[in-house]
Amino acid sequence: MCNILVTGFTPFDGRQNNASWVAASSLRGSGIRTIEIPVIWGAATEFLDSACNDHCPDIIISMGEGREGWFDIETVASNTRRERPDNNDCLPQGVPIAANGPAFRKTPIPMGFLQRILASHGYPVRLSMDAGQFLCEEALYSLVRLKESRHRLKLIVFCHVPPYGTNIHIKGQQTVCDINTLTAFAKILLGAARDFYTNTAEGFVYKNS
């Protein structure tokens, strides 16, 4: 049985809930480890590094709160921080995510496979090349770096989910991005990641096209 870590973020910008943590926390139990990352500059790198140093997972699924109406699978990590205050009202002051890191890192995830699985369940899902240059960007960049340096870490996924309480169309019907919507989505995403991990471990290779 593979070891899986799922992460989300604390609320920010005065919101009561962060949809990413609502989704991530719904998967607690059954051997799934979950971490709520503070919306503080540097926290994503610190928490993910610590998780991989303590007991590196086989799979890490990270989620953040993104654009209304869409689930976005992030495909490119930028070594850039936007001058946006975190929950401590601090700014990055021009400091990149990794001082000696490359400007961009391409995420080695089964993008097309995940998109097809999620779309088949009626979710509006896109492949995105812009993770926002906030804490989600930092988490994504750190995940790709960890994937490159940790032999055990076989699969990483970063997905933006719609803001909590916003409207979204699923299976052609308008609904609200609430705990039920996010729980159902998280379970499908987890199942797809497990399926990819199991089949690639057995030698079957999915195509991203």
User: In 145-179, which positions are buried (b, 16+ CB within 10 angstroms) versus exposed (e)?
Assistant: bbbeeeeebbbbbbbbbbbbeeebebeeeeeebee
**What's the confidence (pLDDT) of residue 201?**
56
Question: What average pLDDT does the segment 7-31 reach?
Answer: 94
Q: Where are the domains of the chain?
A: 4-201
pLDDT digits (tens, 9 = 90+) for 55-77: 899 999 999 999 999 999 999 99
pLDDT exceeds 90 at position 165: yes
pLDDT exceeds 80 at position 30: no
Distance of CA 80 to the CA centre of its chain: 17
Q: Is the separation of the CB atoms in 2 and 155 below 8 Å? A: no
pLDDT exceeds 80 at position 204: no
Q: What is the mean pLDDT of the chain?
A: 92
Q: Which tokens is 4 given?
A: 């899986």
Lowest mean pLDDT, pick from 32-36, 156-160, 199-203: 199-203
**What's the confidence (pLDDT) of residue 112?**
83
What lies within 8 Å, CB to CB, of 112 at 6+ separation is 127, 206, 207, 208, 209
pLDDT greater at residue 114 or residue 162? 162
pTM above 0.95, yes or no: no
- Assign 111 a pLDDT band (cuts: 50, 70, 90): confident
Could you name the CATH architecture of 4-201?
A: 3-Layer(aba) Sandwich (3.40)
pLDDT exceeds 70 at position 208: no
